[in-house]
Chain A
Amino acid sequence: MPWKGGTLRQFFRNSGHLIRLAAVLIAGLCVFLLIRTALIPKAFGKYGHYSPGALDVIRQRPVSYAGQDTCVMCHDGEAKERASGRHAHVACEACHGPQAAHANADDPSAHKPRLPDVANLCRRCHEKDAAKPAHFPQVVTAEHSGGAACNSCHQPHNPHL
């Protein structure tokens, strides 16, 4: 031992630079901890390891699809017609697109939904495809209608002939 026989004072004198270094490191650590405490987001960890505020931010996103219940509140006729047919479980917006802007508008008629593009719309569901469940109604449209629009025979809201 280098300091054997020497006094404790000598030892401290000879390791003075290390004590200074330790002071620098501890000061650095304190600054780090102070900054850290100041910057941690408020309420972080309330429910788990995250900011609970994120939940509210995500919930504030506006809705685009108003939902079936909203549509049928006004559109009685279409709703009744649809409810009695094979499309009873197809939501209005599944074909008509997102209508929250229409439903929430002061004047809904100013946000009139565009009529669906029937040629593509019906085929997406009903074009014959081996991967579709066998019980699902499907046709090879080219053979079935020879190019005529689906709604020239079928009523989309209640698609019996």
Chain B
Amino acid sequence: MAIPGVEGFMYPNEVELQWGLLIVLYPYITGLVAGAFILASLERVFKVEAVRPTYRLALLTALAFLLVAPLPLQLHLGHPERSMEMYLTPHTSSAMAMFGFVYLWYLTVVLLLEIWLEYRADIVHMARTSTGLKGLIYKALTLGSMNVSPASRVIDDKVGYAVTVIGIPSAFLLHGYVGFIFGSVKANPWWSTPLMPIVFLFSAMVSGIAGVMVLYMAVMKAKKMPIDMRCVDTIAKYLFYTFVIDFSLEMLDLVHRTYEADESFRSLNFMVHTRLWGSQVILQIFLCTLVPLALLASTQLFRIGEAKRRAMYLITGLLVLVGIFAMRWNVVIGGQLFSKSFLGYTSFKVQFAAREGLLTAIALMILPFAIFVALVKLLPPWPETTEAPGD
């Protein structure tokens, strides 16, 4: 009579999880987008010159991941062909209905616009020098205007600045609202907290910054170009600060729950000590938060050689990327493992070759990198053998 994987009592419709691996990926990917963009805006708006080498890289990373962001949602829908209804009859009381609009706004008005303005001189240059299909693409991208006079570039710079200024709250909106989707479900005490959007936002910044840092080091290695240590040190410093805030917020949430110990506490506490013990306590909090925080803190406190620092940053970056994924997992999956009756627990197994299975998730995580490589080919983020873009 006992249902396999179920312990205690679940409402009969609760046994099956509704949101699986792909819905774990979705906030992870949008988090990387928002984080990468905020890193890019450090240079642009907050004039942190040291991170200049990663500016374009961060923008392209954000775009590559943003293009993939709707795919896990699309694949998860029972009726993907109906997803356009979000634009036709968006329900104003639904947080989810805003996704389509926030996404379009962020994609076109913020990211594409900023990239276009940043690259316009290069685009015009390449439109003049390339031929064939490539030439056509660049010509189309110029929108028929070859004007890259200093005066027009000054205007571009001003508009670009304005776009970035608008972009920061937009990036906050893009990811904060993902947190709101979970944080506003009053039926689910694991999700329902006003801290959720802020925690999502800071973890997004952490993952985006770590992602760009690792990517920068990897690309430099692949291109056999020197890594700008001042740049990486600065990124690591900002990673440390945001990570401290992120961790404090998450601990605040945990402490608050434990101290308040409302009617859901016994059930959630049991869940954290059993089904989420490995993924939350061991992986997320210990291995992927405390260890990288210690590594980052030691790079701030002690004088460590360059090669060692690089290795530490790399390990930190990778651990953080795993840790933020684990955090998304623990929120999304954890929130569905306990019964809303607080009397039982179900379990979740990732399928391998299913529409929402592991293979799809792996493909969805490789895809942004493929897009990234294509974007880098189309819009090289660093001066190639050709002349440096004039700015």
Contacts and interface: CB of A to CB of B under 8 A. Distances in A.
Contact of A16 (B88, B89, B109, B147): B147
B128 interface: no
B145 interface: yes
Given A25-B108, A36-B87, A40-B89, A3 B147 contact: no
B144 interface: yes
B91 A16 contact: no
Contact of B89 (A6, A18, A20, A41): A41
Contacts of B113: 21
B87 A17 contact: no
A84 interface: no
Contacts of B87: 32, 36
The B interface, classified by DSSP as helix, strand, loop or mixed, is: helix
B108 A14 contact: no
A104 interface: no
Interface string B85-98: 00111011000000
A2 B154 contact: yes
A21 B116 CA distance: 10
Contacts of A2: 151, 154-155, 158
Interface in A56-89: none
A11 B145 CA distance: 14
A28 B156 CA distance: 22
A15 interface: yes
A5 B335 CA distance: 62
Contacts of B149: 14
Given A16-B147, A18-B159, A20-B145, 7 more contacts: A3-B151, A15-B155, A24-B143, A25-B109, A32-B87, A36-B88, A40-B88
Interface of B: 84, 87-89, 91-92, 108-109, 113, 116, 120, 142-145, 147, 149, 151-152, 154-156, 158-159
18 contacts: A2-B151, A2-B155, A14-B151, A14-B152, A16-B147, A18-B155, A20-B143, A20-B144, A21-B113, A32-B87, A36-B87, A39-B88, A40-B88, A40-B89, A41-B89, A44-B89, A49-B89, A49-B91
